[in-house]
Structure 1
Amino acid sequence: MSEQDDPRTPGSCCSETAGAPERPRNPPQLPALRYRFGTQAAFLRRMIERLPRPAPVAGAPRLSALTTRAADDPSIALLDACAAVADVLCFYQERIANEGFLRTAAERRSVLELARSVGYELGPGVAASAWLAFEVETAAGAPASVDVPRGTRVQSVPGPGQKPQTFETSEPLVARPEWNAMPVRATTAWRLEAGGVQLRLQGLSTGLQAGDGLLLAAERQPKVELEPRELRLRRELELRKEPEFRKVLELRKQPERRKEPEEWEFRILSRVEPRPADNVTVVAWREPLRWRTGAVATVYALRQRASVFGHNARKADLPELAAAVRANQGNAQVKAVDLDGAFAQIQAGSWMVLSAGHVAFKEKSSVRRRYGRFLHAAQLRRVELLSRADYGLSGKVTSLHFRSAGDLSDFQVRYTTVYAQSEELVPAELPASALVRGTAIELAEPRSGLRAGQHLIVSGVPSGGDGETVESEHAVVAQVERGGRVLRLERALQRAYVPATTRVRANVTRATHGESVAEVLGSGDASQAHQSFVLRRAPLTFVEDPASARGSASTLELRVDGVRWTETPSLHDLDAVRASYALRNADDGRTTVQFGDGRNGARLPSGVENVRATYRVGLGPEGEVAAGKLTLLQTRPAGIRGVTNPIAASGAGSPEVLERARANAPRSVLTLDRVVSLRDYEAFARGFAGIGKAQAVALWSGERRVVHITAALENGRPIDEDKKRALLAGLARHRDPDQQVLVDGFTERRFRIHARVGVDPRLRAEQVLAGVRARLREAFGFARREFGQPVSAAEAIAVMQSEPGVLFVHLESLSTGPAPGRSELLLLDESEDAVRLEVATA
């Protein structure tokens, strides 16, 4: 005690001139009530001041004669001891007063009991959930499908300083080996392009060489395609010499029209290049294709090249090919042609091409051709080996009968080459340039059994990443198309994946954190009211439940004499025979099961160890294990090879902290289990299990009013799809069904601070600056900021100035950028150099 504060010092505040003590005042928004009427020194000072005054009780001796103020005097020592007692009593009185108000209570038990007074229970937390992908045995003799029962237990591989966490599947699963890791289609079918001059074929043993014929057919029955008709008609004009006829034909020729793309193409190969590295053969030709871009074609190699019977006869004996096949039968169309020689390899059903022209070869497999103007392609209906004598010649012929007719009047026997003995070749697929994105996934092969509503895990290297890191996300099948090859998703994928690295797992089910235990709680006694039992294991697992207004439900299943009793939030409104119980979570995390008294809720029937419970143990953020950690099967169904969690576990919530309870308890009486106003939507979302922050605003969609909720998880991350679905399902039970509601995450923005701080020279500068950094991170961290809340220079200076030892602050820069939007959260950058603090000398 200083000399100035010593009550025995003349002129001190406790002298005769000292005024009476003031009653404490408490303006609004104080973090704690001031309820003390004095300290030990103040009480001692006032008692010494009153020693010379008249006694308040008649007949009591006056103490004016007691003039000593020595501390070792027994009288003064007694007063000193009484002042200490008063100080202790005032301290506890102030603490009790603070514990009586929700805003100022510091003890969790006080907040818990105050919240219960309005029917609000502090949130017990919620267990993390994860998507498990099971791998089924694929060896010979393995089962075609495996039943994975509900409750299958999987344990995590703990990291340094961590404990293994147990998860259990939430629903049964039928797993198949073909669903383990399905590759997506990483290649695209080769399609013709207008102007194309080469083609990639699968394999290296195509047997092709330069000069071979190649037929590209789009239909089973390609049509005849000749040169433009005006060229043929000009030839007729030269024969007939009729001016009027020529005039008519010239009018028909105008205007000149470009030739339409054909339905088949025939080319003579100019180059054949095997590429062993890619296991493909590249073939090329000289004349560009005239096909429509994007058409799909069947490719045939025409292995046999032959001439028409009579090609070597005397010139005077050679007719056109049509006359060589039939004997002047009017306009009847030709349906057969005879090859010069026996070709047993040509089979019915194969393809052939007639070319009115010939090909001249150079050395080294290069080709120079004089390509005929007329071509005809057809599929063979019948092939016959015959003997024929005509044009002064005789010999074996191969008679080819067509499936389709054609006008062959322009094909001269001597100059017609027949390409036959077709063999289908497989074009090499091209690497897919399109990324796996959107709402459709095309698998490399069709997979049977896939159905709408099935859960998937899509894994792959995202586009724009480092090219190595594999990311995963959850998806749900909305529709299965093309026999199980194309999967339509309920929602678009969040990322775009490189096809060659993408795999789709369909043996997927949901699992939640917590280990199942069975326990005998005790024996019922019908003579006791409000009988209760405490669960031996803690904490009791609560899992996500959209049907609950709080978004969570306990995993406790309680049976009395084998009959299951139901859980209720409160026993207050129950009748006398209702077989229900209520749960109460203590401050230490243990859970008490409480039963009725016979008026509000039924009493327990008497019995020996007839109250039994099954529940799960495990809760909170420790269950948010990283991706790939849930790999230890504690219960292994037959046929299951392994399991993993491609996505990190999420959605966990800690038991409700005091700050959240202070805010959420009053909101419980605002909604009263119905959601109408924007304030109700925000209060409901904030109180939902696992949600750490929420904001509701009204938007106009152009047609109607929409409630838009921006939400964040307790761990500071934007709300994920699973929690979003759960929140919307919970809102659907309490809101107007005609009101459209949208739930989205937030965009995080970071800012930096550079300041010069004046530090009290009596203190260590590094300690003061460390305290300033801690205050900044606390004030501008996730827990303290709201969506759309800006940061001002004055606010930043005030936070830094509040640290003891700071004399002044000169703010050099505050890089906050533009004002944050409604769905943006402006936080202090967490990097080490985000807060640059320098000691100012003046």
Structure 2
Amino acid sequence: MSTTPVCTCNAANSMLTNLPGLAEIAFRAGDFNSFRRALLTPLLAPPGQPPLEQSLTAWQTDGADPSVADLGVMMVEWWAYLSDILTFYNERIANEDYLRTAQLPETPAELIQILGYRPRPAIGATGTLAALVSPSVLPGQTVTLPKGLQFQSKPGPGQSPQTFELMQATSIGLPDRVPALPPPNLIADLGSISWEEYSIGGIQYEEELYTYKKAKKVKAQQQHQAHGQYQTTPQYGILLKGSVTSLSNGDVLLLSPRDSTTAPTLITLSAAPAVQSAPTGGKQTQLTFVSASTPGAMTAANARLRKPNQSAPLWTVNGSAYNASGKTIQLAGLAREIRPNHYLVFTAPNADPKVVQVHSTTDMMGDACSAGSPTSVSAGGSGKPTPIPVLHTQLTLASGIHSWLNSVSSASVSILFGWVEVGTLIDQPPQPWNGTGDLDAISPAQFPSAGTQQILLADSNGNGDAASGVGSGDTLSVTWPDSTPIPLSPELQPPFYVYFNLLSVTRGQTVSKEILGSGDATQSGQSFKLAKSPVTYLANPTSGYASTVTITVNGEPWTEVTSFYGQSADARVFVTREDSSQNTWVDFGDGVNGARLTTGNNNVIATYRIGAGASSPPAGKLTVIAQSYPGLQTIVNPVAVSGGSDPDPAALLKQYAPRSVLAFNRAVSVFDYQAIAAQAPGVTMAAATWSWDAVNLRACVTVYVAGEANVATSVQALLSAEGDQNRPVTVLAAKQMTVTLTMALVIVAGWDSDAIKANLTAALCDPITGLFSPPQIGIGQSLFDSTIEAACLAVPGVVGIQSSQFTVNGAVDSGPLHSPGEGAYFSLDPSDFSPTTTEVSAND
């Protein structure tokens, strides 16, 4: 403000100073009190001169008669009131003239128009539904659903249904869905057990359900005297049909694929068999075992579990029962049941059992006398022991076990053979699926063999994921998009449904052929407001978003463009914009940049869609067919729609609009990348930083974004199109740092403590104005304790803070500076803020 005196009193107002970066500027010459005092104070004359003015006597209250009304004082106070009001609004108007200090929500949008910056409008969500055909549709028949077919959500309490429309005509048919399970597995790591019965579309699938502790193996400590130490061995489980009582703890069994020449897996029961009640009736037996090697993947249909039916000792009466290599073994008797290629198990106390394969067998005549040997009969004679011929079996093994034999006593060795199956194997119940491996159809259903198809999967808990799959009868090979992290979290709980009739839908209800008005070729830059709002805008991979508005003039379609800049005088184009109330206006050219409208009566017609915003129905709620169609029975929604976003709040306009002047729709500086990324649908926060590409030895840009799930993928495509092609850009999802805040505050006695706590929660957690909201806190932004305390002390009724504790992801951060680190941001949910209050008298 000017400091030059404009009053004959030669007194200048004090100079107003406003430093840069203020959220509010001072622009008042005075208030009621200062104006009243100035008006009642007389002007002073130069020394020796008579007074220029005389004070009003009522102002001099000493000795004044209070019963005498002084209308002059009343007139002065009127002027003081008037000056106070004028300067107040003058200051408010001055604040509204600057982007940083503007307070009215509509002001930022008006101020940034001169920059050519367009605030992001409300964006409609997109998603994929699955259609089930009616029973009248036979195999081989298809039904074509028309573009624009409408579906609605089931609203929650206090909500309105949202309308979605089919993006393009889509054919549906059989099979529309296939019940599926992960491939069966015979063996599982043991954990707690419970029972559950599944039902899939009338197919009863009853089974026991294990709760697996995958990260933890059950530890069995076995003391090995030979090594003098404990060995930790994982335990496994296997199921048998019926009640099997012929087995005991410590029994040695062979587990192998059926009709296979591969070596069997040697297992040892580590607990007595547990007979259980099967959910389908009858009994089943659980076996718990340990194995020196991890058993391979097998199923009950292609595996067998065998126990030994016979055993044989080694030759021990004289000589050695085995040769130097341990491959030739002499038995104590005949065992002609042992044949070449059979498997034997050598056992001995305090030794691990050993499984070997037989190469060949031979009947051998040995001599049991003291002078004899297992491989020959002595001649006998005078003074010599009488030969005792013994016919026994000599084994030749495929591999030697000399070391094992030397570690035990031959007399303690028992050779197990004559293997018989212990019972009928049962597959383990399906485990939670992490997305790896194929899926098997539940018979009699079959997967369609039609090459790669887009699919939706839904588990028994209602969770779902989108993928692509290649079916081949009983098996479906699943391929996941890059945006889906594998292994899945949470895992999908079997059984599943695999859906094939997929429908791409977007939010918005069509308003068809609305008459905007009449064109007049004598007028330049005609503008019309659409009758309904908010108009649906949809995400676009190159421009960020695009409207659903189409315009015809005299039946001829005109083209929407982002700006009239560079348009020819005859270009039949239009531009859309939103006002502060989110009403959409359609602007036409002036005949220089863009053609003027053709003259006609009600010849400007608009078709568009309405409905947009961040609020969208959760999975399982977008299932109402708003317009019935022959052949379509129902729709399912296992995967939630996404991508919707609200219009840019004023706080973000103040931040990003000035930066857009430097970008001009192309990214050069990191601030350009940040501003463009923040405009992408589904983004609530964005930050950009320079980084170094050590491989290519050049600078690159890393952009962090927060918002919708998988939003980084769409932002990557957007920045790749608008950024410097010679400068690589990487878009990463920002890491959320969950804050838990506990505070003990002092409040004025008598105030409503519940209301104060609600105001404290709003001061910190309000989604727009709260300290921890996206518009107020950025990615990578640090917080001081004093900043949090100042926000709390600004709440009326709060006079002090006794203590506070700031916890991040479960760990206490003592402060006073809290930093989330690069690419991370603090997030405080209202449920994680715990204020306690202590009252103090206002006079204390």
TM-score over 0.5 for the pair? yes
Residue 755 (structure 1) aligns with: 744
* Residue identity in the other structure for 2:837: L
* Residue identity in the other structure for 1:157: K
Judging changes above 3 Å, is the alpha-carbon distance between structure 1 residues 73 and 645 closer, same or farther for their aligned structure 2 residues? same
Aligned length: 633
Residue 646 (structure 1) aligns with: 638
Q: Which deviations, in whole Å up to 9, do the C-alpha atoms of 1:451-486 show, x marking residues without a partner? A: 44x44333226xxxxxxx44223x332766789621
Residue 187 (structure 1) aligns with: 184
Alignment of 1:420-499 (within 5 A): 430-431=427-428, 435-438=432-435, 440-444=437-441, 447-452=447-452, 454-460=453-459, 469-473=461-465, 475-477=466-468, 485-491=476-482, 492-493=485-486, 494-498=488-492
| Identical positions, percent | 27
Moved more, 641-650 or 483-492: 483-492
Displacement after TM superposition at 1:155 (Å)? 1.1
Q: Are the aligned partners of 1:43 and 1:87 in contact in 2 as well (CA < 8 Å)?
A: yes
* Residue identity in the other structure for 2:732: V
* Residue identity in the other structure for 1:580: V
Alignment of 1:785-796 (within 5 A): 785-796=777-788
Displacement after TM superposition at 1:633 (Å)? 0.6
Residue 523 (structure 1) aligns with: 518
Q: Which deviations, in whole Å up to 9, do the C-alpha atoms of 1:705-732 show, x marking residues without a partner? A: 664332222xxxxx312x3332122112
Displacement after TM superposition at 1:601 (Å)? 0.7
Q: Are the aligned partners of 2:743 and 2:801 in contact in 1 as well (CA < 8 Å)?
A: no
Q: 2:111 aligns with which of 90, 110, 114?
A: 114
Displacement after TM superposition at 1:607 (Å)? 2.4
Residue 735 (structure 1) aligns with: 723
Displacement after TM superposition at 1:276 (Å)? 7.6
Q: 2:586 aligns with which of 569, 593, 600?
A: 593
Q: Does 1:153 align with 2:150?
A: yes
Q: Does 1:169 align with 2:166?
A: yes
Q: Are the aligned partners of 2:780 and 2:821 in contact in 1 as well (CA < 8 Å)?
A: yes
Judging changes above 3 Å, is the alpha-carbon distance between structure 1 residues 542 and 629 closer, same or farther for their aligned structure 2 residues? same
Equivalent position SS for 2:675: helix
Q: Are the aligned partners of 1:23 and 1:37 in contact in 2 as well (CA < 8 Å)?
A: no
Residue 507 (structure 1) aligns with: 501
**What is the CA–CA distance in structure 1 between the aligned matches of 2:796 and 2:740, rounded to whole Å?**
24
Displacement after TM superposition at 1:502 (Å)? 2.9
**What is the CA–CA distance in structure 2 between the aligned matches of 1:728 and 1:202, rounded to whole Å?**
55
* Residue identity in the other structure for 2:337: G
- In terms of Rg, which structure is larger? 1
**What is the CA–CA distance in structure 1 between the aligned matches of 2:20 and 2:784, rounded to whole Å?**
24
Q: 1:726 aligns with which of 714, 725, 732?
A: 714
Q: Are the aligned partners of 1:754 and 1:812 in contact in 2 as well (CA < 8 Å)?
A: yes
* Residue identity in the other structure for 1:609: N
Alignment of 1:325-340 (within 5 A): none
Q: Are the aligned partners of 1:451 and 1:477 in contact in 2 as well (CA < 8 Å)?
A: no
Residue 338 (structure 2) aligns with: 373
Q: Are the aligned partners of 1:124 and 1:655 in contact in 2 as well (CA < 8 Å)?
A: yes
Displacement after TM superposition at 1:791 (Å)? 3.6
Residue 703 (structure 1) aligns with: 695
**What is the CA–CA distance in structure 2 between the aligned matches of 1:572 and 1:293, rounded to whole Å?**
71
Displacement after TM superposition at 1:636 (Å)? 3.0
* Residue identity in the other structure for 1:526: A
**What is the CA–CA distance in structure 2 between the aligned matches of 1:537 and 1:591, rounded to whole Å?**
8
Q: Which deviations, in whole Å up to 9, do the C-alpha atoms of 1:77-111 show, x marking residues without a partner? A: 33332333322322222222111111112234432
Judging changes above 3 Å, is the alpha-carbon distance between structure 1 residues 181 and 34 closer, same or farther for their aligned structure 2 residues? farther
Residue 824 (structure 1) aligns with: 824
Equivalent position SS for 1:96: helix
Q: 2:30 aligns with which of 30, 38, 41?
A: 38
Q: Which deviations, in whole Å up to 9, do the C-alpha atoms of 1:295-353 show, x marking residues without a partner? A: 8798799xxxxxxxxxxxxxxxxxxxxxxxxxxxxxxxxxxxxxxxxxxxxxxxxxxxx
Q: Are the aligned partners of 2:693 and 2:700 in contact in 1 as well (CA < 8 Å)?
A: yes
Task: Please give the root-mean-square deviation of Cα atoms over the aligned residues, in Å.
Answer: 4.6
**What is the CA–CA distance in structure 2 between the aligned matches of 1:112 and 1:660, rounded to whole Å?**
11
Q: 1:612 aligns with which of 605, 612, 619?
A: 605
Gaps of 5+ in 2: 1-7, 60-65, 189-236, 244-253, 266-272, 305-333, 343-359, 364-422, 814-818
**What is the CA–CA distance in structure 2 between the aligned matches of 1:728 and 1:85, rounded to whole Å?**
57
Q: Does 1:534 align with 2:533?
A: no
Residue 669 (structure 2) aligns with: 677
**What is the CA–CA distance in structure 1 between the aligned matches of 2:142 and 2:153, rounded to whole Å?**
25
Judging changes above 3 Å, is the alpha-carbon distance between structure 1 residues 765 and 579 closer, same or farther for their aligned structure 2 residues? closer
Q: Which deviations, in whole Å up to 9, do the C-alpha atoms of 1:231-267 show, x marking residues without a partner? A: xxxxxxxxxxxxxxxxxxxxxxxxxxxxx8499xxxx
Displacement after TM superposition at 1:752 (Å)? 1.9
**What is the CA–CA distance in structure 1 between the aligned matches of 2:292 and 2:763, rounded to whole Å?**
74
Displacement after TM superposition at 1:278 (Å)? 5.4
Residue 331 (structure 1) aligns with: none
Displacement after TM superposition at 1:677 (Å)? 3.3
Q: Which deviations, in whole Å up to 9, do the C-alpha atoms of 1:511-544 show, x marking residues without a partner? A: 2221001112222222222122211111111111
**What is the CA–CA distance in structure 2 between the aligned matches of 1:707 and 1:450, rounded to whole Å?**
42
Q: Does 1:582 align with 2:575?
A: yes
Displacement after TM superposition at 1:639 (Å)? 1.8
Alignment of 1:132-531 (within 5 A): 132-138=129-135, 141=138, 144-188=141-185, 261=263, 294=296, 372-374=337-339, 430-431=427-428, 435-438=432-435, 440-444=437-441, 447-452=447-452, 454-460=453-459, 469-473=461-465, 475-477=466-468, 485-491=476-482, 492-493=485-486, 494-498=488-492, 500-518=494-512, 519-531=514-526
Q: Which deviations, in whole Å up to 9, do the C-alpha atoms of 1:708-765 show, x marking residues without a partner? A: 332222xxxxx312x33321221121124461513214223212223242x4458566
**What is the CA–CA distance in structure 2 between the aligned matches of 1:117 and 1:290, rounded to whole Å?**
76
Equivalent position SS for 2:107: helix
**What is the CA–CA distance in structure 1 between the aligned matches of 2:644 and 2:491, rounded to whole Å?**
28
Judging changes above 3 Å, is the alpha-carbon distance between structure 1 residues 766 and 727 closer, same or farther for their aligned structure 2 residues? closer
Equivalent position SS for 2:830: coil
Judging changes above 3 Å, is the alpha-carbon distance between structure 1 residues 706 and 146 closer, same or farther for their aligned structure 2 residues? farther
Judging changes above 3 Å, is the alpha-carbon distance between structure 1 residues 763 and 275 closer, same or farther for their aligned structure 2 residues? closer
Q: Which deviations, in whole Å up to 9, do the C-alpha atoms of 1:5-24 show, x marking residues without a partner? A: xxxxxxxxxxx999753233
* Residue identity in the other structure for 1:789: Q
Equivalent position SS for 2:338: strand
- Could you state the TM-score of these two structures normalised by the residue count of structure 2? 0.65
Residue 555 (structure 1) aligns with: 548
Residue 657 (structure 1) aligns with: 649
Q: Are the aligned partners of 1:138 and 1:177 in contact in 2 as well (CA < 8 Å)?
A: no
**What is the CA–CA distance in structure 2 between the aligned matches of 1:635 and 1:184, rounded to whole Å?**
34
**What is the CA–CA distance in structure 2 between the aligned matches of 1:65 and 1:831, rounded to whole Å?**
63
Gaps of 5+ in 1: 1-15, 55-60, 192-197, 205-213, 223-259, 264-270, 302-368, 378-406, 411-425, 462-468, 714-718
Q: Are the aligned partners of 1:52 and 1:65 in contact in 2 as well (CA < 8 Å)?
A: no
Q: Which deviations, in whole Å up to 9, do the C-alpha atoms of 1:62-91 show, x marking residues without a partner? A: 654865548943333333323333223222
Q: Does 1:625 align with 2:617?
A: yes
Equivalent position SS for 1:684: helix
Judging changes above 3 Å, is the alpha-carbon distance between structure 1 residues 281 and 579 closer, same or farther for their aligned structure 2 residues? same
Judging changes above 3 Å, is the alpha-carbon distance between structure 1 residues 178 and 748 closer, same or farther for their aligned structure 2 residues? farther
* Residue identity in the other structure for 2:627: T
Equivalent position SS for 1:834: strand
**What is the CA–CA distance in structure 2 between the aligned matches of 1:67 and 1:746, rounded to whole Å?**
72
Displacement after TM superposition at 1:559 (Å)? 1.4
Residue 229 (structure 1) aligns with: none
Q: Does 1:130 align with 2:95?
A: no
